[in-house]
Amino acid sequence: MTSSNTSETSETLGYEQARDELIEVVRRLEAGGTSLEESLALWERGEELARVCRHWLDGARRRLDAALAEEAAEDDGAEAGAEDAGAK
């Protein structure tokens, strides 16, 4: 883990970058052989990376929900227009 990695935040890391680095952190922790200090640093970095991933996924979920809500509103509007036309 380099010092540039530890200074990157959610503003600079994309989802894929954070996910890939998180996978590497988990791999290193599972492999063992690190000192307690290094393990704690890896754990903290992993927590930060998990937050970054959650941030990106939450944003994607909000965008998806908004798109689905917009589509549903358009469908409701089209159905209401068809009902009005049929009543005349």
pLDDT of residue 4: 47
- Amino acid 27 reads R
Q: Mean pLDDT by 10-residue block, N- to C-terminus, for the chain (88 residues)?
A: 51 92 98 97 97 96 95 81 64
Supply the Cα-derived Rg of the chain in whole angstroms.
23
For tokens 């009902």, the residue is 83
Q: CATH number of the domain that 32 lies in?
A: 1.10.287
Residue 83: the pLDDT is 65
10: phi then psi, degrees, rounded to nearest 5: -60, -20
Residue 70 and residue 46: Cα distance in Å, rounded? 36
- Look up the domain containing 83 and give its range: 3-87
CA angle 24, 39, 4 (to 5 degrees): 55
Q: How many structural domains are present in the chain?
A: 1
pLDDT of residue 2: 46
